[in-house]
Amino acid sequence: MVHKTEIHAQSQSLPGQEALMTPPAVFIRNDYLGSRKLQDKVALISGADSGIGRSVALHFAREGADVVALYLSEHDDARETRRLVEAEGRRCLLIDGDLGNPEFCRDAVAKTIANFGKLNVLVNNAGTQQVQKCLTAISDEQWRTTFRTNIDSMFYLTKAALPYLKEDDAIINTASINAYVGPALLLDYSATKGAIISFTRSLSNQVVGKGIRVNAVAPGPVWTPLQPATLGAYDPQLLEDFGSDTPMGRAAQPWEIGPCYVFLASLDASFISGQTLHPNGGTVVNG
């Protein structure tokens, strides 16, 4: 059985940094054996500097893929992701910038093709959130930032990437359990995550005939910098209870989420499209 990670009250500011987290997160199991499920594939992963995205990058590299890691501005975290991917014997290109800018998204895909000559897996994973107790406290600016970062970015990056994707390639979008449970403190965030589920379903139906599969992952609570930078910034004590409301009574470490993306990216999921995986500690959400 996986033991609960003891998380104490703490906070930091957005976009958050791995180095400031206590205890540090764990991204891949030492005994995770790669079996070339993604051999010589090229994956573009947004938010791959830290948290879930770094775990996805490491699992993909161990399965034989090269990685393009997009991130906002956390250069130290991004360099560590690159070091870890290279330690798996794979290449890693880092690109920083704001995914809410369509020009940046087009540029990131162009750099991927210029460096690697192809793109096989797009992981739309970057995201942000800010806690507010009630709708009237959400500024118009916060609403826009959340939508721009979480869902507009997905449209821009996918639009740029789609012309390069071919049969057996895959798109995987990071949603959240919050799309299903609707937490009171994260209204704008939850609305974007619901949009991501619907985006995944419609896009799947658009491209399934080309042999491209589109799926989502909807994690429950995971120990990543996003949480001390948002929940912790709102109230550091909230982190003491982080994940205790799941049936398993704990938050996940990123290494428990990364393998879902390997599954959906590989031919193991050849008959699965338009669906959502739920690594959430046992909460039944039916969707």
227 makes contact, choosing from Mg ion, ligand NAD, none, with CB < 5 to 8 Å by partner type, with ligand NAD
What's the rounded Cα separation, in Å, for the pair 58 and 82?
9
Task: Determine whether 263 is exposed, middle or buried from the number of CB atoms within 10 Å of its CB (0-12, 13-18, 19+).
Answer: middle
Contact track, ligand NAD, 158-187, x by CB under 6 A: ----------------x-x-----------
User: C-beta of 149: minimal distance to ligand NAD in Å?
Assistant: 4
User: C-beta of 98: minimal distance to Mg ion in Å?
Assistant: 13
Q: Is 28 in the site for ligand NAD (CB under 6 A)?
A: no
Asked whether the CA dihedral 57, 258, 160, 208 is positive or negative, the reply is positive
# of chain residues touching ligand NAD (CB under 6 A): 29
Are 192 and 257 within 8 A, CB to CB?
A: no
User: C-beta of 124: minimal distance to Mg ion in Å?
Assistant: 15
Residue 173 main-chain phi, psi, to 5 deg:
-110, 135
Give every strand in the sheet of 170-174, ordered side by side. 92-96, 66-71, 42-46, 121-124, 170-174, 213-217, 276-277
What one-character-per-residue DSSP string does 84-115 give?
HHHHTT--EEEEES-TTSHHHHHHHHHHHHHH
Which residue lies nearer to ligand NAD by CB, 191 or 211? Answer: 191
Q: Which of 7, 44, 45, 52 binds ligand NAD (CB under 6 A)?
A: 52
Q: Is 223 in the site for Mg ion (CB under 5 A)?
A: no
Q: Is 152 in the site for Mg ion (CB under 5 A)?
A: no
Q: Which of 108, 40, 36 has the alpha carbon at shortest distance from 69?
A: 108
Q: Which of 60, 112, 195, 219 binds ligand NAD (CB under 6 A)?
A: 219
Q: Is 273 in the site for ligand NAD (CB under 6 A)?
A: no
Looking at residues 37 to 56 of the shown chain, list those that interact with Mg ion (rule: CB under 5 A).
49-50
What's the rounded Cα separation, in Å, for the pair 144 and 176?
19
- State yes or no: is 261 an active-site residue: no
Looking at residues 90 to 149 of the shown chain, list those that interact with ligand NAD (rule: CB under 6 A).
98-100, 125-128, 149
Q: Is 279 in the site for ligand NAD (CB under 6 A)?
A: no
User: C-beta of 27: minimal distance to Mg ion in Å?
Assistant: 12
Asked whether the CA dihedral 53, 21, 244, 72 is positive or negative, the reply is negative
Question: Which among 156, 189, 234, 261 is annotated as catalytic?
Answer: 189
Are 153 and 100 within 8 A, CB to CB?
A: yes
Q: Is 63 in the site for Mg ion (CB under 5 A)?
A: no
Annotated catalytic sites, by residue? Answer: 189
